[in-house]
Amino acid sequence: MKTLLIRRARVVDPVAGLDGVRDVLIEEGKISKVAARIQKPGVPTLDLDGLVVAPGFIDMHVHLREPGQEWKETIASGCAAAAAGGFVAVACMANTDPVNDCRAVTEMILAEAERHGAVRVLPVGALSKKMEGKELAEIGEMVAAGCVAVSDDGKSVMDGGLMRRALEYSTIFDLPVLVHEQDANLLGTGQMHEGAVSARLGLAGMPASAEEALIARDVLLAEDAGARLHVQHVSTARGLTMIRLAKRRKVKVTCEATPHHLALTDEALESFDANFKMNPPLRPEADRAALLRGAAEGAIDAVATDHAPHHADEKGLEFARAPFGVVGLETAVGVVLTKLHHEEGVPLPRIVELLSVGPARALRVAGGTLEVGAPADITVLDLDREWTVDPEKFKSKGRNTCFAGMPLKGAAAMTIVGGRVVHDAR
C-alpha cells in the first residue's frame, strides 16, 4: 500500500522522544509525517485508537532452518511466525545445511525471502568455514551479498587466535561479530545449569563459568581490535557484569537476553520436559533477577528470541537425547509485555528500545524509529489483551515452546512492513 494514514494511536518512539497520541502518514513505504492531526482526504485509513504504534520490532537472533532442514522451519513459515509475533525483520543465523558461509548461500536466502517472506530477512554469515572454527569464512563476499553480521552461533569459537582475526577483519566493514559464548571444554555433557537443581535431578550440569570465561576473552579481544562485539543470549549475572564494565570502558560491546531467560528459572526443569531444554540453559533466580535489572536499566541492549524450531519427534526423545532450543517468535512480545512491563513496571519506551531501537543499532540496519524518511516498519501493540499460549495456533512449524499454557497480558495486534500490513490480529 503506497499511502496509509494511521489515526489516534499512542505513538511511542524513544529515538524521537515521543510518547503521545498522534496520527502517522505513510507514503511510498516510508514515514511521511507524524503529527497530532493529519488531514489527507481519500487515502486508506486505520483507526488505532487505544492501541500503541511503535517502530517495527527486529528479532536479531532467529534460526530459519532453510536451506537444509525445511521439516523444522522454512523461510516462509519463519517469516509468517515473525509477522504474527509483531516482528518486521529477523536476522537469521548461519547454521543451515549447507552453512551460510559463502556468497551463494546468502543469495539463496535473500532470494527465497524476496519470494515468500512476509518480513525483512537479514542474513548472518558464518564466522568460520562450515562453522568448524578452523578457518575464516568468505566474510567480504558475504557482506557484499547482503549479510549484516557474522557468527558461528550454536557453536563457540574456541580458537582465540581465529576469533582475534575475525574481530580485526570485521573492522574493515564495521561489521558486528555475534558470539555464542560457551567454553566447550567446560560444558562436557551438560544438559542444564549446574547447580542445586541439576544435583537434585541427577542431570549433568553446565557451569555458568563456561559462558563467562568466553565473554571475558572476547571482550578483551574486541577492545584490542576496536571491533564491534555482540554477546548473544547472555544468561548469567557475572557475564552481564563483565559486559557492563566493558561498556564503561567504551568497548564496542552490546548484548541481548532472551524472553525465556527473563521469565523462567532452572526449576522449570523439574518437569523433565525437553521444551525447557535450551542452550545456554535456564539459570537460578539470582541470574534471572540480574537480567531483569539489566533489561530495565540499559545494560542489556536487545531482547532476542533465539527462535530454534525442532520437530515434535525430536523434542519427544528422552531428555538427554532431545535437542537444545525453543521457538519464540510468536510469544516474545507477550512474554516481555507481561513480565517486564506489567509485572516489573518497565516503561513502555524502554520495552520499545529493547525490541526495536537496540537491535537496529547493534546490527546497524534501518529501523528503530518513526522519524520522517524512515522505513514504514511498524509494530502495533494491544497492551491489555489477555491470552493463553497455544502452540497449535503457531504459524511456525515449530511447536517446541516453553510457554505453552502460560497466560499473558499484551500482544502484537498488527505488523506493517514498508507500509504494507502483513499481519492484522486486532
Between CA 300 and CA 231 the distance in angstroms is 10
> In this structure, how many other beta carbons lie within 10 angstroms of the beta carbon of residue 391?
18
Between CA 206 and CA 41 the distance in angstroms is 61
Between CA 395 and CA 233 the distance in angstroms is 24
Between CA 43 and CA 50 the distance in angstroms is 21
Bridge pairing between strands 52-55 and 3-13: parallel
Cis peptide leading into 14, omega within 30 of 0?
no
Cis peptide leading into 55, omega within 30 of 0?
no
Between CA 184 and CA 231 the distance in angstroms is 16
User: Hey, which residues does 149 pair with through a beta bridge?
Assistant: 124
Which H or E run contains 221? helix 208-225
Contact predicate 236/287, CB 8 Å: yes
Active site residues: 306
Helix (H, G, I), strand (E, B) or coil at 10: strand
Give me the residue label for grid cell 529493547: 354
Locate 341 and state its grid cell. 512491563
- Spatial CA neighbour of 309 closest among 117, 64, 61, 58: 64
> In this structure, how many other beta carbons lie within 10 angstroms of the beta carbon of residue 351?
26
Which of the 8 DSSP states describes residue 400? Answer: -
Between CA 102 and CA 140 the distance in angstroms is 9
Kindly report the three-state secondary structure assignment for every residue of 288-324.
HHHHHHHHHHCCCCEECCCECCCCHHHHCCCCCCCCC
Which residues 6+ apart lie within 8 Å of 33 measured at CB? Answer: 23, 24, 25, 372
Q: What is the largest CA-CA distance in the chain?
A: 68
